[in-house]
Structure 1
Amino acid sequence: MAISLDKLMGFHHKAMQVRTDRMEIISGNLANANTPGYKARDIDFQKAMASARYQQSQQMTRTHEKHFEGQMRTQAEIEFRIPEQPDTGDGNTVEVQAERNKFLDTGMRYQAGIQFLNGKIKGMKKAISGGQGQ
């Protein structure tokens, strides 16, 4: 019986990738907090994961031995964030405290994902070894 690592962890791996991308974008927002005219950006996590689910269900199969294996990938849509506070006059939409909170929240969810995947890997190792020796 073959074990499909992609089926076991593929979706969670995608979630980790989206969270990594989101933290990079938020970092860019924070770095440009004082740049006039800069527009804060973000990734809609729910849309990105819905896209990942769709891609997972639409995996391509090879029809010829010289075709590449894999699936089509689309990068999560990066959107401009709608500011909650009025414009300060310079056109910058970065709200530093909100960005920090989003960064911390995403980081905590990333860590929780790491712990979840570690648990899956430990369980798989235990199943392979028959529960002997740790």
Structure 2
Amino acid sequence: MDLFGGSSFIALQRGLEGAQVRQKTITQNIANVDTPNYKAKQINFKHTLDEALKDSNFRANRTNEKHVEFSSTLSTPSVQVNRSSVYNHNGNNVDIDVEMAELAKNQIYYNALIDRINGRFNSLQTVIKGGN
């Protein structure tokens, strides 16, 4: 029996890894807010989740043949550089307000994943203790 290799644990793990990559990208943008000609980077976060679902063989539970199956569109995570705009007078296009909002959003997402993982471990702990 594989307690930690199930599809939900793998999806949660990959979600955390994706949040980490996004955090790094956002903090690089914030650190370079005053760097001349620096161009802001963004990560397409949906790609990270799609990759996690692909690797974990995540499937819907169909109880009726009329139920529609779902699947994720598979692609690899990508960091994109926005070269089309200039926000500051020095050629830099980092908007600190946008970056701080994205940082907060990513932190909320990360905390939600951690809460879900903690719930899974608490359930296992309850089973191990015999329901007490």
Q: Which runs of 5+ in 1 are unaligned?
A: 58-73
Q: Write the mapping of 1:51-70 to structure 2, written as runs, cut at 5 A.
A: 51-57=51-57
- Corresponding position of 2:39: 39
Q: Following superposition, which runs of at least 4 residues in structure 1 exceed 3 angstroms of deviation?
A: 85-89
- Corresponding position of 2:120: 120
Two-structure CA RMSD over aligned residues (Å): 2.2
1:21 aligns with 2:21: yes
Q: 2-side partners of 1:50 and 1:22: how far apart? A: 15
1:106 aligns with 2:109: no
Deviation, structure 1 residue 82: 6.7
Change in Cα spacing, 1:17 to 1:131, as seen in structure 2 (3 Å) is same
Change in Cα spacing, 1:81 to 1:52, as seen in structure 2 (3 Å) is farther
3-state SS in 2 of match to 1:5: coil
Q: 2-side partners of 1:15 and 1:116: how far apart? A: 11
2:2 aligned partner, one-letter code:
I
Deviation, structure 1 residue 55: 2.7
3-state SS in 2 of match to 1:99: helix
Identical residues among aligned pairs (%): 22
- Corresponding position of 1:67: none
For these two proteins, the number of residue pairs brought into alignment is: 114
Q: Write the mapping of 1:70-109 to structure 2, written as runs, cut at 5 A.
A: 76-81=77-82, 87-109=87-109
Deviation, structure 1 residue 91: 2.2
Q: Which runs of 5+ in 2 are unaligned?
A: 58-74
- Corresponding position of 1:3: 2
TM-score, normalised with respect to structure 1: 0.75
